[in-house]
Structure 1
Amino acid sequence: MWETGTSGERADRRPDRLGDPIMSLALTCAGSTKLITVSGEIDMSNAHLLTELVACACDSSAPVVAVDLSAVRFFSAHGVSALLQAQHIAVTAGAAFILRDPAPCVTYLLATSGALGDFRLNRGDGHPPRPRSTAVELATPLRADPLTSG
């Protein structure tokens, strides 16, 4: 298992428990699929490690590389870039690239960045993904502008 980061207090997010890694990666084989399980946070300090692990998984001619993102609790734009790069690496190596059960924070950022449609998604049980709302809901309903409405 690969782990990255340090623990302790950080100004931008809540403190981690002492000793907990910021991100953990695990690579397992499930039949002909290489499964990468990601937990924790994907940010600028560690997103490249995900891309590097996908490259390692593709070195062994895996027909499918699946990335389980169900345990991701923070996801940044660097994560979007890493997933796009990882997909390119897998496709270039001749492997299918699947995002498995992405956490809501991952789905939201992929949708708002316009990249969600670039990926094949799958739930962990092999079924197509459940629809998730990615729209931002307004706290108050929109009202007609009194200056322009009749």
Structure 2
Amino acid sequence: MSTKLPHDRSRGADGDVPAPGAPVMSLDWEHEGPLTVVSVHGEVDMSNAHLLVDLVAELARRPAPRVVLDLSGVRFVDLHAVRALIEADRLLREAAGGLALRRPPRCVSRLLHLTATVHLFAVDEGPVPGDAPWARSAATGDRVPPRRATGALSTPHLRMDTGRPPLPSGREVSA
């Protein structure tokens, strides 16, 4: 399932004048096995960050939801975007799920560092489905770090363990 949620404002070709009807942000999502990958494109700011939270809140209704936010298409963020990411993480953790950020561009990683929130998020630098930071070895149950995809954006300073205990499995969530 793939769906788009556009917002009604965007920059024109010259960067100054809004283009009529073009979205400022779009959200596409699809299920890749146990993961839901949400691709975020455009600008995430005070006018639309709530749409990201609304989508994650809907996805959090599934049992043990695992969501990867692919941020490679983001070209601008503000503090409302950081707040939305924190809220999305909270919603998913309450539902016994997890959140990972995939390929955050420089504008995102910079703002996460400036706001001292970078340690709150797991970062998946590659596009391999099922290769999220919460992946576990079937044989041992141990945490398996994500593999780096060839040609992926290199932001090793963002790849860090959040220090949080593993999420419980088998917890039911009522809708």
> Do both proteins adopt the same fold according to a TM-score greater than 0.5, normalized to the shorter chain?
yes
Percent identity, aligned pairs only, is 34
User: CA separation of 1:7/1:40 partners in 2, compared to 1, >3 Å: closer, same or farther?
Assistant: closer
Instruction: Number of aligned residue pairs: give it.
Output: 131
- The Cα RMSD (Å) is 2.2
Is residue 2:6 matched to residue 1:3?
yes
* Equivalence for 1:130: 154
Choose between structure 1 and 2: higher strand proportion.
1
The amino acid that maps onto 1:73 is R
1:1-150 correspondence runs (5 A) = 1-7=4-10, 14-125=16-127, 126=131, 127=147, 130-131=154-155
The amino acid that maps onto 2:110 is Y
TM-score by length of 1: 0.78
Structure 1 residues without counterparts, runs of 5 or longer:
135-150
**8 Å Cα contact 1:23/1:39 also seen in 2:** yes
The amino acid that maps onto 1:89 is L
The amino acid that maps onto 1:106 is V
Give the distance between the partners of 1:82 and 1:44, measured in 2 at CA: 10
Give the distance between the partners of 1:38 and 1:45, measured in 2 at CA: 15
Give the distance between the partners of 2:157 and 2:97, measured in 1 at CA: 29
Give the distance between the partners of 2:60 and 2:82, measured in 1 at CA: 19
The amino acid that maps onto 2:34 is S
Q: Which runs of 4+ in 1 moved over 4 A?
A: none
